[in-house]
Protein backbone atom coordinates (compact mmCIF):
# COMPACT_ATOMS: atom_id res chain seq x y z
CA UNK A 1 0.00 0.00 0.00
CA UNK A 2 2.67 2.51 0.99
CA UNK A 3 6.11 2.94 -0.52
CA UNK A 4 8.90 2.72 2.10
CA UNK A 5 11.20 4.50 -0.34
CA UNK A 6 9.08 7.66 -0.41
CA UNK A 7 10.64 10.94 0.81
CA UNK A 8 10.49 11.57 4.56
CA UNK A 9 7.61 14.04 4.28
CA UNK A 10 5.70 12.13 1.62
CA UNK A 11 3.66 8.94 1.37
CA UNK A 12 2.73 6.84 -1.61
CA UNK A 13 -0.62 5.04 -1.43
CA UNK A 14 -1.42 2.25 -3.84
CA UNK A 15 -5.00 1.20 -4.62
CA UNK A 16 -6.36 -1.57 -2.39
CA UNK A 17 -8.66 -4.39 -3.45
CA UNK A 18 -10.09 -4.90 0.02
CA UNK A 19 -9.58 -4.16 3.70
CA UNK A 20 -10.62 -5.89 6.92
CA UNK A 21 -9.57 -7.00 10.37
CA UNK A 22 -9.46 -5.50 13.85
CA UNK A 23 -7.65 -2.38 14.95
CA UNK A 24 -7.44 0.20 17.72
CA UNK A 25 -7.08 3.94 17.21
CA UNK A 26 -5.27 6.40 19.51
CA UNK A 27 -7.00 7.91 22.50
CA UNK A 28 -9.54 10.61 21.75
CA UNK A 29 -7.73 13.90 21.14
CA UNK A 30 -10.48 16.10 22.59
CA UNK A 31 -10.75 13.98 25.73
CA UNK A 32 -6.96 13.78 26.09
CA UNK A 33 -6.65 17.58 26.07
CA UNK A 34 -9.36 17.91 28.68
CA UNK A 35 -8.13 15.06 30.88
CA UNK A 36 -4.69 16.66 31.09
CA UNK A 37 -5.91 20.21 31.55
CA UNK A 38 -8.62 19.48 34.09
CA UNK A 39 -6.38 17.10 36.04
CA UNK A 40 -3.86 19.94 36.32
CA UNK A 41 -6.58 22.04 37.99
CA UNK A 42 -7.75 19.29 40.35
CA UNK A 43 -6.55 19.13 43.92
CA UNK A 44 -4.71 15.81 43.98
CA UNK A 45 -3.32 13.07 41.73
CA UNK A 46 -4.87 11.65 38.57
CA UNK A 47 -3.62 8.64 36.59
CA UNK A 48 -4.31 8.61 32.85
CA UNK A 49 -3.68 5.99 30.18
CA UNK A 50 -4.42 5.78 26.49
CA UNK A 51 -3.83 9.49 25.91
CA UNK A 52 -3.75 10.65 22.32
CA UNK A 53 -0.29 10.21 20.85
CA UNK A 54 -0.21 13.20 18.52
CA UNK A 55 1.65 16.48 18.70
CA UNK A 56 -1.48 18.43 19.70
CA UNK A 57 -1.92 16.50 22.95
CA UNK A 58 1.81 16.78 23.63
CA UNK A 59 1.40 20.57 23.41
CA UNK A 60 -1.19 20.58 26.20
CA UNK A 61 0.96 18.27 28.31
CA UNK A 62 3.99 20.56 27.91
CA UNK A 63 1.89 23.63 28.72
CA UNK A 64 0.59 22.35 32.06
CA UNK A 65 4.10 21.28 33.03
CA UNK A 66 5.33 24.80 32.24
CA UNK A 67 2.62 26.13 34.59
CA UNK A 68 4.16 24.19 37.48
CA UNK A 69 2.12 20.98 37.34
CA UNK A 70 3.98 17.71 37.91
CA UNK A 71 3.46 15.36 34.96
CA UNK A 72 5.22 12.00 35.12
CA UNK A 73 5.25 9.11 32.64
CA UNK A 74 5.35 5.57 34.02
CA UNK A 75 5.08 3.04 31.23
CA UNK A 76 1.78 3.60 29.40
CA UNK A 77 0.39 5.74 32.22
CA UNK A 78 0.72 9.46 32.85
CA UNK A 79 0.53 10.71 36.44
CA UNK A 80 -0.68 14.29 36.90
CA UNK A 81 -0.41 15.90 40.32
CA UNK A 82 -2.97 18.67 40.26
CA UNK A 83 -2.18 21.92 42.01
CA UNK A 84 -5.63 23.47 41.99
CA UNK A 85 -6.22 26.81 40.31
CA UNK A 86 -4.33 28.75 42.97
CA UNK A 87 -1.27 26.51 42.64
CA UNK A 88 -0.48 27.35 39.02
CA UNK A 89 2.74 29.32 38.50
CA UNK A 90 3.73 31.88 35.85
CA UNK A 91 5.64 30.10 33.06
CA UNK A 92 9.28 30.99 32.53
CA UNK A 93 8.73 31.54 28.79
CA UNK A 94 5.96 31.77 26.23
CA UNK A 95 3.76 28.68 26.02
CA UNK A 96 4.22 27.14 22.57
CA UNK A 97 0.94 25.54 21.49
CA UNK A 98 2.50 24.49 18.14
CA UNK A 99 -0.40 23.50 15.86
CA UNK A 100 -3.04 22.99 18.55
CA UNK A 101 -5.94 25.42 18.49
CA UNK A 102 -7.56 23.49 21.34
CA UNK A 103 -4.49 24.03 23.54
CA UNK A 104 -4.29 27.75 22.82
CA UNK A 105 -7.99 28.58 23.11
CA UNK A 106 -8.62 26.57 26.28
CA UNK A 107 -5.52 28.01 27.92
CA UNK A 108 -6.83 31.49 27.19
CA UNK A 109 -9.88 30.69 29.32
CA UNK A 110 -7.86 29.08 32.08
CA UNK A 111 -5.25 31.85 32.30
CA UNK A 112 -7.84 34.63 32.16
CA UNK A 113 -8.40 34.19 35.90
CA UNK A 114 -4.79 33.73 37.00
CA UNK A 115 -2.93 36.75 38.47
CA UNK A 116 -0.03 36.80 36.03
CA UNK A 117 0.77 37.47 32.38
CA UNK A 118 1.32 34.67 29.86
CA UNK A 119 2.19 34.74 26.16
CA UNK A 120 0.74 31.99 23.96
CA UNK A 121 2.36 31.28 20.61
CA UNK A 122 1.97 28.69 17.86
CA UNK A 123 3.40 27.50 14.57
CA UNK A 124 2.86 29.23 11.24
CA UNK A 125 -0.51 27.53 10.73
CA UNK A 126 -1.90 28.26 14.19
CA UNK A 127 -0.69 31.86 13.90
CA UNK A 128 -3.22 32.43 11.10
CA UNK A 129 -6.24 31.25 13.07
CA UNK A 130 -8.83 33.64 14.63
CA UNK A 131 -8.74 34.21 18.40
CA UNK A 132 -11.05 37.20 18.77
CA UNK A 133 -14.01 34.88 19.27
CA UNK A 134 -12.39 33.77 22.56
CA UNK A 135 -10.80 37.07 23.51
CA UNK A 136 -13.94 39.22 23.30
CA UNK A 137 -16.06 37.38 25.93
CA UNK A 138 -13.01 36.93 28.19
CA UNK A 139 -12.43 40.69 28.04
CA UNK A 140 -16.08 41.17 28.99
CA UNK A 141 -15.40 39.03 32.08
CA UNK A 142 -12.47 41.27 33.10
CA UNK A 143 -9.38 39.68 31.55
CA UNK A 144 -6.82 41.63 29.57
CA UNK A 145 -6.19 39.92 26.23
CA UNK A 146 -3.81 41.30 23.61
CA UNK A 147 -3.91 39.83 20.09
CA UNK A 148 -1.68 40.32 17.10
CA UNK A 149 -2.78 41.93 13.83
CA UNK A 150 -6.03 40.51 12.56
CA UNK A 151 -6.95 39.04 15.95
CA UNK A 152 -4.48 36.17 15.67
CA UNK A 153 -1.67 34.69 17.80
CA UNK A 154 0.61 35.45 19.53
CA UNK A 155 -1.85 36.05 22.38
CA UNK A 156 -0.90 37.80 25.62
CA UNK A 157 -3.20 37.04 28.56
CA UNK A 158 -3.03 39.14 31.73
CA UNK A 159 -5.34 37.42 34.15
CA UNK A 160 -7.05 38.65 37.27
CA UNK A 161 -10.44 38.91 38.95
CA UNK A 162 -13.25 37.78 36.66
CA UNK A 163 -16.99 38.42 36.83
CA UNK A 164 -19.70 36.00 35.74
CA UNK A 165 -21.09 36.48 32.25
CA UNK A 166 -23.98 35.27 30.14
CA UNK A 167 -22.73 34.85 26.60
CA UNK A 168 -24.42 33.67 23.42
CA UNK A 169 -21.92 32.09 21.06
CA UNK A 170 -22.25 33.60 17.57
CA UNK A 171 -20.74 30.42 16.07
CA UNK A 172 -21.01 26.95 17.56
CA UNK A 173 -17.57 26.05 18.95
CA UNK A 174 -16.67 23.51 21.62
CA UNK A 175 -13.25 25.14 22.03
CA UNK A 176 -14.72 28.56 22.78
CA UNK A 177 -17.32 27.02 25.08
CA UNK A 178 -14.60 25.21 27.02
CA UNK A 179 -12.51 28.36 27.35
CA UNK A 180 -15.46 30.28 28.77
CA UNK A 181 -16.40 27.49 31.18
CA UNK A 182 -12.83 27.40 32.49
CA UNK A 183 -12.97 31.14 33.00
CA UNK A 184 -16.39 30.72 34.62
CA UNK A 185 -14.91 28.25 37.09
CA UNK A 186 -12.94 31.24 38.41
CA UNK A 187 -15.50 34.03 37.92
CA UNK A 188 -17.29 35.63 40.85
CA UNK A 189 -21.09 36.02 40.80
CA UNK A 190 -22.63 39.41 40.10
CA UNK A 191 -25.86 40.96 41.32
CA UNK A 192 -27.60 39.54 38.25
CA UNK A 193 -25.69 36.29 37.69
CA UNK A 194 -24.74 33.53 40.12
CA UNK A 195 -22.67 31.76 37.46
CA UNK A 196 -21.28 32.01 33.93
CA UNK A 197 -23.67 30.82 31.24
CA UNK A 198 -22.72 29.87 27.67
CA UNK A 199 -25.58 29.65 25.17
CA UNK A 200 -24.92 27.54 22.07
CA UNK A 201 -26.56 28.23 18.70
CA UNK A 202 -26.22 24.48 17.92
CA UNK A 203 -25.05 21.54 20.03
CA UNK A 204 -21.30 20.97 20.07
CA UNK A 205 -19.28 18.15 21.63
CA UNK A 206 -20.02 18.04 25.36
CA UNK A 207 -16.84 16.36 26.64
CA UNK A 208 -16.10 19.38 28.83
CA UNK A 209 -19.46 19.26 30.57
CA UNK A 210 -19.30 15.51 31.19
CA UNK A 211 -15.75 15.55 32.53
CA UNK A 212 -16.15 18.64 34.71
CA UNK A 213 -19.29 17.16 36.29
CA UNK A 214 -17.41 13.91 36.94
CA UNK A 215 -14.79 16.00 38.74
CA UNK A 216 -17.32 17.73 40.97
CA UNK A 217 -17.85 21.04 39.19
CA UNK A 218 -21.07 22.92 39.90
CA UNK A 219 -22.33 22.76 36.33
CA UNK A 220 -25.87 22.65 34.97
CA UNK A 221 -26.98 22.01 31.39
CA UNK A 222 -30.42 23.28 30.36
CA UNK A 223 -31.03 22.78 26.66
CA UNK A 224 -28.60 25.05 24.76
CA UNK A 225 -27.42 26.72 27.99
CA UNK A 226 -24.48 25.57 30.10
CA UNK A 227 -23.99 27.31 33.46
CA UNK A 228 -20.94 26.91 35.72
CA UNK A 229 -20.34 28.36 39.15
CA UNK A 230 -16.93 28.91 40.75
CA UNK A 231 -15.50 26.02 42.71
CA UNK A 232 -12.84 23.36 43.06
CA UNK A 233 -12.22 20.19 41.09
CA UNK A 234 -11.58 16.70 42.46
CA UNK A 235 -9.21 14.30 40.64
CA UNK A 236 -10.72 12.29 37.80
CA UNK A 237 -11.19 8.63 38.83
CA UNK A 238 -9.76 9.16 42.32
CA UNK A 239 -7.69 6.11 43.25
CA UNK A 240 -8.15 4.51 39.82
CA UNK A 241 -6.92 4.90 36.25
CA UNK A 242 -8.85 6.83 33.62
CA UNK A 243 -8.45 5.13 30.23
CA UNK A 244 -9.18 7.48 27.34
CA UNK A 245 -11.51 5.94 24.71
CA UNK A 246 -10.39 5.66 21.09
CA UNK A 247 -10.83 8.76 18.94
CA UNK A 248 -13.88 8.62 16.66
CA UNK A 249 -12.34 11.31 14.45
CA UNK A 250 -9.31 9.06 13.93
CA UNK A 251 -11.57 6.04 13.46
CA UNK A 252 -13.42 7.96 10.73
CA UNK A 253 -10.73 7.27 8.14
CA UNK A 254 -11.01 3.52 8.70
CA UNK A 255 -14.79 3.62 8.81
CA UNK A 256 -14.84 5.24 5.36
CA UNK A 257 -12.18 2.84 4.06
CA UNK A 258 -14.33 -0.03 5.34
CA UNK A 259 -17.51 1.31 3.74
CA UNK A 260 -15.66 1.53 0.42
CA UNK A 261 -13.48 -1.57 0.49
CA UNK A 262 -14.16 -4.03 3.36
CA UNK A 263 -15.33 -7.37 1.97
CA UNK A 264 -15.23 -8.84 5.47
CA UNK A 265 -16.07 -7.16 8.79
CA UNK A 266 -13.77 -4.37 9.93
CA UNK A 267 -13.78 -3.91 13.71
CA UNK A 268 -12.60 -0.84 15.61
CA UNK A 269 -12.24 -1.58 19.31
CA UNK A 270 -13.34 0.66 22.20
CA UNK A 271 -14.13 3.89 20.37
CA UNK A 272 -15.80 6.89 21.98
CA UNK A 273 -19.35 7.32 20.64
CA UNK A 274 -20.45 10.51 22.37
CA UNK A 275 -23.70 11.51 20.59
CA UNK A 276 -22.38 15.04 20.01
CA UNK A 277 -19.60 13.45 17.93
CA UNK A 278 -21.42 10.68 16.04
CA UNK A 279 -22.41 12.70 12.99
CA UNK A 280 -20.14 10.46 10.93
CA UNK A 281 -22.09 7.36 12.01
CA UNK A 282 -25.34 9.07 11.02
CA UNK A 283 -23.92 10.05 7.62
CA UNK A 284 -22.64 6.52 6.99
CA UNK A 285 -26.05 5.09 7.87
CA UNK A 286 -27.86 7.64 5.66
CA UNK A 287 -25.52 6.73 2.80
CA UNK A 288 -26.42 3.05 3.17
CA UNK A 289 -23.39 1.78 5.06
CA UNK A 290 -24.06 -0.91 7.63
CA UNK A 291 -22.48 0.12 10.95
CA UNK A 292 -22.99 -1.76 14.22
CA UNK A 293 -22.20 -0.68 17.77
CA UNK A 294 -21.44 -3.47 20.24
CA UNK A 295 -20.34 -3.61 23.90
CA UNK A 296 -21.75 -0.13 24.52
CA UNK A 297 -20.97 1.23 28.00
CA UNK A 298 -20.25 4.46 29.91
CA UNK A 299 -16.75 5.25 31.12
CA UNK A 300 -16.06 7.04 34.46
CA UNK A 301 -16.17 10.46 32.79
CA UNK A 302 -19.67 9.71 31.50
CA UNK A 303 -18.49 9.04 27.94
CA UNK A 304 -20.19 6.27 25.92
CA UNK A 305 -17.76 3.74 24.44
CA UNK A 306 -18.39 0.91 21.94
CA UNK A 307 -16.81 -1.44 19.42
CA UNK A 308 -17.71 -0.47 15.84
CA UNK A 309 -18.23 -2.98 13.01
CA UNK A 310 -18.85 -2.35 9.31
CA UNK A 311 -18.13 -3.59 5.81
CA UNK A 312 -18.45 -2.49 2.18
CA UNK A 313 -21.86 -1.20 1.12
CA UNK A 314 -23.71 0.18 -1.88
CA UNK A 315 -23.76 3.91 -1.23
CA UNK A 316 -26.29 6.64 -2.01
CA UNK A 317 -26.04 10.42 -1.94
CA UNK A 318 -26.73 12.34 1.28
CA UNK A 319 -27.17 15.95 2.36
CA UNK A 320 -25.13 17.10 5.36
CA UNK A 321 -26.28 20.36 6.96
CA UNK A 322 -27.17 22.08 10.23
CA UNK A 323 -26.68 20.08 13.40
CA UNK A 324 -25.34 17.12 11.42
CA UNK A 325 -22.54 19.30 10.04
CA UNK A 326 -21.59 20.43 13.55
CA UNK A 327 -21.49 16.84 14.82
CA UNK A 328 -19.30 15.73 11.90
CA UNK A 329 -17.19 18.85 11.40
CA UNK A 330 -13.78 17.15 11.75
CA UNK A 331 -14.78 14.19 9.59
CA UNK A 332 -16.13 16.15 6.61
CA UNK A 333 -12.97 15.85 4.43
CA UNK A 334 -12.98 12.05 4.59
CA UNK A 335 -16.77 11.93 4.27
CA UNK A 336 -16.33 13.89 1.04
CA UNK A 337 -14.13 11.01 -0.16
CA UNK A 338 -16.93 8.58 0.71
CA UNK A 339 -19.50 10.63 -1.20
CA UNK A 340 -17.49 10.50 -4.42
CA UNK A 341 -18.55 6.83 -4.51
CA UNK A 342 -22.22 7.44 -3.60
CA UNK A 343 -24.90 7.43 -6.28
CA UNK A 344 -26.40 10.87 -6.88
CA UNK A 345 -25.65 14.46 -5.86
CA UNK A 346 -24.46 14.95 -2.28
CA UNK A 347 -24.13 18.30 -0.50
CA UNK A 348 -22.20 19.50 2.52
CA UNK A 349 -23.54 22.82 3.85
CA UNK A 350 -23.19 25.08 6.92
CA UNK A 351 -19.51 24.17 7.12
CA UNK A 352 -17.88 27.62 6.80
CA UNK A 353 -15.97 26.84 10.01
CA UNK A 354 -13.80 24.55 7.87
CA UNK A 355 -12.32 27.65 6.26
CA UNK A 356 -10.40 28.49 9.48
CA UNK A 357 -9.07 25.12 10.52
CA UNK A 358 -5.42 24.04 10.06
CA UNK A 359 -6.05 24.85 6.41
CA UNK A 360 -9.02 26.05 4.41
CA UNK A 361 -10.43 22.54 4.47
CA UNK A 362 -13.19 23.25 1.97
CA UNK A 363 -10.74 24.46 -0.67
CA UNK A 364 -8.17 21.76 0.21
CA UNK A 365 -10.73 18.95 -0.01
CA UNK A 366 -12.10 20.18 -3.34
CA UNK A 367 -8.60 20.52 -4.78
CA UNK A 368 -7.57 17.04 -3.62
CA UNK A 369 -10.70 15.34 -4.99
CA UNK A 370 -10.58 17.16 -8.31
CA UNK A 371 -6.94 16.19 -8.75
CA UNK A 372 -8.07 12.56 -8.33
CA UNK A 373 -10.89 12.85 -10.88
CA UNK A 374 -13.96 13.50 -8.70
CA UNK A 375 -16.85 15.69 -9.80
CA UNK A 376 -17.00 18.29 -7.02
CA UNK A 377 -17.99 21.95 -6.75
CA UNK A 378 -16.85 24.36 -4.05
CA UNK A 379 -19.44 26.47 -2.22
CA UNK A 380 -18.94 29.28 0.29
CA UNK A 381 -20.01 27.06 3.19
CA UNK A 382 -19.33 23.59 1.81
CA UNK A 383 -19.28 21.56 -1.40
CA UNK A 384 -21.34 19.47 -3.81
CA UNK A 385 -20.27 16.04 -5.05
CA UNK A 386 -21.72 13.94 -7.88
CA UNK A 387 -21.02 10.23 -7.82
CA UNK A 388 -20.09 7.56 -8.22
CA UNK A 389 -16.94 8.70 -10.01
CA UNK A 390 -13.81 6.55 -10.31
CA UNK A 391 -10.83 8.03 -8.50
CA UNK A 392 -7.35 7.91 -9.99
CA UNK A 393 -4.01 8.23 -8.29
CA UNK A 394 -2.51 11.72 -8.31
CA UNK A 395 -0.02 13.94 -6.52
CA UNK A 396 -1.83 15.87 -3.78
CA UNK A 397 -0.66 18.32 -1.13
CA UNK A 398 -1.70 17.96 2.51
CA UNK A 399 -1.22 21.68 3.10
CA UNK A 400 0.09 21.15 6.65
CA UNK A 401 -3.30 19.67 7.61
CA UNK A 402 -3.46 16.24 9.25
CA UNK A 403 -7.04 15.53 8.22
CA UNK A 404 -6.38 16.35 4.57
CA UNK A 405 -3.31 14.07 4.58
CA UNK A 406 -5.30 11.16 6.01
CA UNK A 407 -8.37 11.75 3.82
CA UNK A 408 -6.10 11.69 0.76
CA UNK A 409 -4.71 8.35 1.90
CA UNK A 410 -8.21 6.84 2.04
CA UNK A 411 -8.96 8.26 -1.41
CA UNK A 412 -5.73 6.69 -2.64
CA UNK A 413 -6.81 3.27 -1.33
CA UNK A 414 -10.14 3.62 -3.14
CA UNK A 415 -8.59 4.69 -6.45
CA UNK A 416 -9.19 2.35 -9.38
CA UNK A 417 -5.68 2.85 -10.71
CA UNK A 418 -2.47 4.76 -10.13
CA UNK A 419 -0.47 5.59 -7.03
CA UNK A 420 -1.38 8.61 -4.89
CA UNK A 421 1.57 10.72 -3.76
CA UNK A 422 0.77 12.73 -0.63
CA UNK A 423 3.11 15.67 -0.14
CA UNK A 424 3.38 16.77 3.48
CA UNK A 425 2.10 13.42 4.76
CA UNK A 426 3.90 13.93 8.08
CA UNK A 427 1.10 16.33 9.05
CA UNK A 428 -0.79 13.20 10.17
CA UNK A 429 1.44 13.11 13.25
CA UNK A 430 -0.50 16.06 14.71
CA UNK A 431 -3.23 13.62 15.75
CA UNK A 432 -2.20 10.11 14.62
CA UNK A 433 1.55 9.46 14.31
CA UNK A 434 1.09 5.77 13.42
CA UNK A 435 -1.69 6.41 10.88
CA UNK A 436 0.04 5.07 7.77
CA UNK A 437 1.27 1.93 9.54
CA UNK A 438 -2.22 1.31 10.95
CA UNK A 439 -3.78 1.83 7.54
CA UNK A 440 -1.35 -0.68 6.01
CA UNK A 441 -2.33 -3.24 8.67
CA UNK A 442 -5.91 -3.55 7.37
CA UNK A 443 -5.08 -3.82 3.68
CA UNK A 444 -5.11 -7.33 2.19
Give the DSSP letter of residue 276: T
Alpha-carbon gap, residue 340 to 315, rounded angstroms: 10
Using CA atoms, how far residue 342 sits from 16, 157, 204, 396, 416, in Å, is 18, 48, 27, 22, 15
Alpha-carbon gap, residue 238 to 234, rounded angstroms: 8
Alpha-carbon gap, residue 127 to 320, rounded angstroms: 30
Residues 6+ apart with CB under 8 A from 48: 35, 36, 39, 77, 78, 79, 80, 236, 241, 242, 243, 244
Cis peptide before 309 (omega within 30 of 0): no
| Residue 396 burial (10 A CB sphere; 0-12, 13-18, 19+) | buried
Active site residue 56: no
Q: Residue 132: which of 158, 153, 162, 161 has the closest Cα?
A: 153
CA distance between the termini of the chain: 9
Using CA atoms, how far residue 389 sits from 261, 342, 376, 386, in Å, is 15, 8, 10, 7
Alpha-carbon gap, residue 278 to 326, rounded angstroms: 10
Q: How many CB atoms lie within 10 A of CB 213?
A: 17
Q: Is residue 376 a contact partner of residue 340, using CB atoms and an 8 Å limit?
A: yes
Tell me which of 330, 371, 401, 419 is the catalytic residue: 330
Q: How many CB atoms lie within 10 A of CB 150?
A: 10
Q: Is residue 178 a contact partner of residue 4, using CB atoms and an 8 Å limit?
A: no
Strand, helix or coil at 384? strand
Q: Is residue 202 a contact partner of residue 322, using CB atoms and an 8 Å limit?
A: yes
| Exposure class string for 268-282: b at 16+ Cβ within 10 A, else e | bebbbbbebbbbbbb
Within 13 Å of residue 317, how many CA atoms lie on the same side as its CB?
A: 13
Using CA atoms, how far residue 441 sits from 18, 45, 52, 362, in Å, is 12, 37, 20, 29
* Active site residue ranges: 330
Amino acid sequence: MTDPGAPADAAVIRPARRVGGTLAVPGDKSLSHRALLFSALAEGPTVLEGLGTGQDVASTRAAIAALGVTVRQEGPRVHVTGRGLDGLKPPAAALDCQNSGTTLRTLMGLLAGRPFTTTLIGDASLSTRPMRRVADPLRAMGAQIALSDGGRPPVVVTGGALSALRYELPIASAQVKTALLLAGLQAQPTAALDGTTVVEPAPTRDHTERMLRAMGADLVVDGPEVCIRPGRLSPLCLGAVYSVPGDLSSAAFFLVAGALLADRPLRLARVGVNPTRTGILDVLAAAGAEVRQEELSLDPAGEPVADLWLQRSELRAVDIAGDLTVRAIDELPVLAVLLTQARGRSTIRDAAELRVKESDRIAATVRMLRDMGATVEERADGLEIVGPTPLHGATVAAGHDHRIAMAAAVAGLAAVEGDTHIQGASAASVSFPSFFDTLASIVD
